[in-house]
Amino acid sequence: MTNRQSLAPRLNTLSIALSMVMLATAPTAFAQDQSEQSRPASTQASTLDTVTVVGSRIKRAEIEGPAPVTVITRADIDREGFQTVGDMLQSLTQQSTANFTGDLAVSGFTPNAQVVNLRGMGPGYTLTLINGRRPPDYPQPYNRDNNVVNVRMIPSAIVERVEVLTGGASAIYGSDAVAGVVNIVTRKNYDGNQIRVTAGTTAEGGGDSVAFEYTGGSTGDRWSTLYALQYNANEPVFASQREFLADTRNNPYGLTANPNLALVALSLGGVAARANHNAVYDAAACDAFGYTTVTTPARGTYCGSFTQPASRSISNKQETWATYVSGTFDVTNTLQLFGSASLYTSEASSGSGTEFWGTSGDRFTANPSGAATGYYYDAAYGDFFQLQRVFNPFELGGSEAATTLYDENYFDLTFGVNGVFGRFDWEASANYGEYEYENDRPRLLAKPVHDYFLGPQLGNRSNGVPIYALNLARWNSPITPEIYRSFATRVKNISETSSGTVNFNFSGDLFDLPAGPLSIAGVVEGTRQTMDLISDPRTDQMRPLDEQTIYNLTSSGSTSGERDRYAVGVEFRVPILDSLTANLAGRYDKYDDITAVDGAFTKTFGLEWRPFSSLLLRGSYATSFRAPDMQMVFAEGAASYSSVLDEYACRSGQYLGQTTGPRTVPTCQQSGDLTQYQTQSRIAGNPGLKEEEGESWGYGFVWDIIDNMSLSVDYYRIRLEDKASQVTAAYILQNEANCRLGVKRDGTAFENGPDSAFCQNIYGLITRTVAPGTALDGRLQALNTAYINTAFQEVSGVDANFRYRHTTDRWGRFDLDLGYTLRLTDKSKQFADDELVDYRDMWDYDPRSRVRGSLGWSSDDWSVTLFGTRLGANQNWAETDRLRPYITYNMQVGHRFTPNTKVEFTVVNLTDNQYRFDETYTSYPYFYYANGADPLGRRFFISMTHRF
């Protein structure tokens, strides 16, 4: 990854130096505007002001510190072809590609969000800040259980630069700074007005977009103000608009494709047709639907569609507004008031295009006890049937009829005062933000759609299977949009998060040492976070069945909770020699909530050694922590019933095992055993969770080879213990027995005592009936298959950056930035007794390497930039061979027509590389979206910027 800065091109970073430093990498990022870039490095360095950069509260003249920092400016974002801050962050070489979010994850939990996931540890392990402050979490949990920050909601109009610190930084910022910190810095002290208008489209259709940005500012003798407005609108892109996705027969590997099972009644009894073959076929019906008829050995004769999967969206429709206002007022020469306010609103939609119904997910196809059977006995055919029906877009009312709507609103307020007291700068501030979210999705009503096709129940077979008679006229006829609306509904989930922080910090020089001043920074802060998520009550599986029961959809329940945190921290910068500086920091965070976190102390230590003026050797060690996600703690959870083995009753001879005495697990696993029965299982929050604890190491060098040419290399290693991991019912019940009995199944001693924190946590996940003297006493009433602190993860690798700038008298200026990250290990295990497995080379994990680079040229009023990213080799889906690297390019050509007017033409995905070719990925869409894919293909944007 490139490291650009508008502060200094000459070497600026500290680090611990050992001979092993040559193993390491650190992306460095430099970005000057054209006037700055033309000046000699020595001149820039001599006029450099001190600034605060992510990773330290101590102001300094250098961007580089004991840990690598990448700085990317708004100009870099535009020049490299990115339309949003979120898109740029996805290109970082330290960023994971395996994120279950974004427009391609239509069926995921957060398809309208973008996250930062450094080192592939999960987006919750990267702390995202705006001007050094935490914004509210995204109200919809990522991957159901994790709280994250949505970087899509940050308008580019207000961004001055993005700072990225890789490595642990909890000693500075507290929880979540395990893999790194991303700090978005907004514009300040802007004087004048600027309008930027952008229009875009895609080469293959769909995705038309328009963006408008206005930024203005004024300054006076004692005041300054800045205001910005941004509007974006994007039309959706559907898979049907991409040739290789539009029809399964167009697959890139020449595979023989059969139509999907869009209209089938599978025989399970082998009476009306061969077992598992379609038993109801009508050629006229197939024509009415526009389906294709085939006969296959697996399903017999049926008809279906080659194009239904292509009705889904691959890029969301979205319309957003964002405003931002900030200002300062100098009360005196040493006292300043400041404040800012921002507002973001978004209306977006994504669509699956079709709706699906079948008896396999139908809770009304049930036996007399209420248990779903997944099939029924058809009285007319004298056979057991399993039905499956896919509704086409034309039946629903068009390609956008089955769309999920996302309505998001965010605001943020900050007020404060800063000043100078002697040798110290200080600041006191208060910040509050709220994020509101509504998810409105189409779903079928289980009973009305069941009744539409099957009619009234005609009884039950002797084995309890329900009896119906399929309505062939309805089954074989397309429905109308009116009929669809008669058995469809909208399911709404509403959520809101908030974050409020009061902060006081200071920094300055304590006193002078022989090698320079001893600098100090300190912080005291308090934060309150809240989360309220209300799921549609009709999705609760424990709710009695009625006309409003939702078909085949289970929610994660409701979540409501608040968390208070108080913290105090201190940081020192100690010049040991003229060429050697040490950095030390410590912080204590106190949590006031229902978790087992209580308090967490973290520390960091770093060294910077400059043996020569052109060489910096650096290194750092840091501890970090992550408090449990609020969703993992406060979630009410969604319940269902499943059969379990009550292992404690089995092995102890207690409760339901009293009549048989202690036995072995294999003995109890026999069919009909009293210790096997159904109980309620719920994935809910676990207040017993404690903090996850991490350590990180890094060392490397930055070398100014010659004027305007630099190289940096850094090694990193991050370890995380007590990582929260979801457990199964079997794991909970096995360890309950281990804890209570003190021994494992094989009779060996159990390593955790009955009163240990681990066992207390396990007990807290189990609810047993208290009914002394009855057969129900001690019976399992409910299990919470929640998260517990059990997993371990370790990642390591190398980051490298090369930068060169060359200015000629006749041919203009040339700029080259190259960033590279190599993952050396990605090891993890879920439980202490598990084998530690390295997942680096498995097919569904991040590529082992990433490259990010740009080549730029500018002369007079013209500029050209070629930007590229390369995802290194991955295993194919079958894990039999390595895939070729996935490479994309962006190109931008700009021309300044007047001193205040510039036009830029940008091509994104210049070579139209839409996916990584993998012949073993034989199911639709024929590529793994998180492993290198851009099905939008080549896109074009033209922008005009005018200042006045």
Distance CA 873, CA 884 (A): 6
Q: Enumerate residues 6+ apart whose C-beta is below 8 A from 119.
A: 94, 96, 125, 166, 179, 180, 716, 718, 795, 797
113: confidence class by pLDDT, cuts 50, 70, 90: confident
pLDDT value at residue 31: 31
**Are 452 and 431 in a shared domain?**
no
Distance CA 353, CA 239 (A): 10
Query: What are the tens digits of pLDDT across the range 923-944?
Result: 999 988 888 899 999 999 999 9
Is the pLDDT at 122 greater than 50? The verdict is yes
Is the pLDDT at 623 greater than 80? The verdict is yes
11: confidence class by pLDDT, cuts 50, 70, 90: very low
Q: Which tokens is 912 given?
A: 């139209």
Looking at the domain assignment, is residue 56 inside a domain? no
* Burial category of 509 from C-beta neighbours within 10 Å (exposed 0-12, middle 13-18, buried 19 and up): middle
**Are 936 and 820 in a shared domain?**
yes
Distance CA 570, CA 573 (A): 11
pLDDT value at residue 105: 63
Looking at the domain assignment, is residue 104 inside a domain? yes
pLDDT value at residue 637: 80
Distance CA 291, CA 306 (A): 8
87 within 8 A of 911, measured Cβ to Cβ:
no
pLDDT value at residue 8: 32
- pTM of the complete model: 0.87
Is the pLDDT at 4 greater than 50? The verdict is no
Distance CA 313, CA 398 (A): 13
108: confidence class by pLDDT, cuts 50, 70, 90: low
Q: How many CB atoms lie within 10 A of CB 421?
A: 11
Is the pLDDT at 32 greater than 50? The verdict is no
Distance CA 209, CA 482 (A): 32
Of 633, 643, 559, 557, whose CA–CA distance to 593 is shortest?
633
**Which residues are registered as beta bridge partners of 209?**
200, 234
Looking at the domain assignment, is residue 59 inside a domain? no
The residue among 765, 785, 805 that closes a domain is 785
Report percent pLDDT > 70 for the chain.
93
Q: Which of 196-200, 368-372, 526-530 has the lowest mean pLDDT?
A: 368-372
Residue 947, classed as helix, strand or coil, is strand
pLDDT value at residue 17: 32
CATH of the domain at 221: 2.40.170.20
Mean of all residue pLDDT scores within the chain: 89
Is the pLDDT at 28 greater than 80? The verdict is no
Q: What is the average pLDDT across 755-763?
A: 91
**Are 807 and 842 in a shared domain?**
yes
**Are 853 and 930 in a shared domain?**
yes
**Which residues are registered as beta bridge partners of 337?**
329, 417
Q: What is the average pLDDT across 873-880?
A: 87
Distance CA 308, CA 382 (A): 32
**Are 568 and 655 in a shared domain?**
no
Q: Which residue has the tokens 């040991």?
A: 576
pLDDT value at residue 99: 65
Is the pLDDT at 29 greater than 60? The verdict is no
Q: Side-chain half-sphere of 9: how many Cα atoms within 13 Å? A: 26
pLDDT value at residue 16: 31
Q: What is the average pLDDT across 205-216?
A: 96
Distance CA 114, CA 47 (A): 38
pLDDT value at residue 762: 92
Of 503, 707, 591, 605, whose CA–CA distance to 11 is shortest?
707
Looking at the domain assignment, is residue 25 inside a domain? no
Q: What is the average pLDDT across 576-595?
A: 94
Query: What are the tens digits of pLDDT across the range 423-477?
Result: 999 999 999 999 999 999 999 999 999 999 999 999 999 999 999 999 999 999 9
Q: What is the average pLDDT across 800-817?
A: 95
Query: What are the tens digits of pLDDT across the range 690-749?
Result: 999 999 999 999 999 999 999 999 999 999 999 998 888 999 999 999 999 999 999 999
**Are 502 and 391 in a shared domain?**
no
**Are 286 and 386 in a shared domain?**
yes
Q: Which tokens is 930 given?
A: 């998180």
pLDDT value at residue 454: 98
Q: Which residue has the tokens 């940096």?
A: 712
Query: What are the tens digits of pLDDT across the range 68-100?
Result: 898 999 899 999 999 889 899 999 999 988 765
Report percent pLDDT > 90 for the chain.
71
Distance CA 30, CA 699 (A): 20
34: confidence class by pLDDT, cuts 50, 70, 90: very low
Most distant CA atoms of the chain, gap in Å: 98
Q: What is the average pLDDT across 295-306?
A: 95
**Are 515 and 534 in a shared domain?**
yes
The residue among 770, 785, 800 that closes a domain is 785
Is the pLDDT at 45 greater than 50? The verdict is no
Is the pLDDT at 47 greater than 70? The verdict is no
Is the pLDDT at 38 greater than 60? The verdict is no
Q: What is the average pLDDT across 105-117?
A: 73
394: left (phi over 0), alpha (psi -120 to 50) or beta: alpha
Residue 375, classed as helix, strand or coil, is coil
Is the pLDDT at 51 greater than 80? The verdict is no
**Are 545 and 464 in a shared domain?**
no
**Are 743 and 849 in a shared domain?**
no
Q: What is the average pLDDT across 165-179?
A: 93
Looking at the domain assignment, is residue 113 inside a domain? yes
Looking at the domain assignment, is residue 35 inside a domain? no
791 within 8 A of 828, measured Cβ to Cβ:
yes
Distance CA 700, CA 609 (A): 11
680 or 812, higher pLDDT:
812
Residue 486 to residues 213, 409, 449, 562, Cα–Cα distance (Å): 44, 32, 9, 40
pLDDT value at residue 103: 67
Looking at the domain assignment, is residue 305 inside a domain? yes
N-term to C-term CA, the chain: 34
**Are 230 and 336 in a shared domain?**
yes
Name the DSSP class of 361.
G
**Are 736 and 827 in a shared domain?**
no
What is the residue range of 676's domain?
638-683+728-785
Q: Which tokens is 265 given?
A: 């009644």
Looking at the domain assignment, is residue 63 inside a domain? no
* Burial category of 238 from C-beta neighbours within 10 Å (exposed 0-12, middle 13-18, buried 19 and up): buried
Q: Is the dihedral of CA 863, 75, 872, 805 positive or negative?
A: positive
107: confidence class by pLDDT, cuts 50, 70, 90: low
Is the pLDDT at 522 greater than 90? The verdict is yes
The residue among 739, 762, 785 that closes a domain is 785
**Number of independent structural domains in the chain:** 3
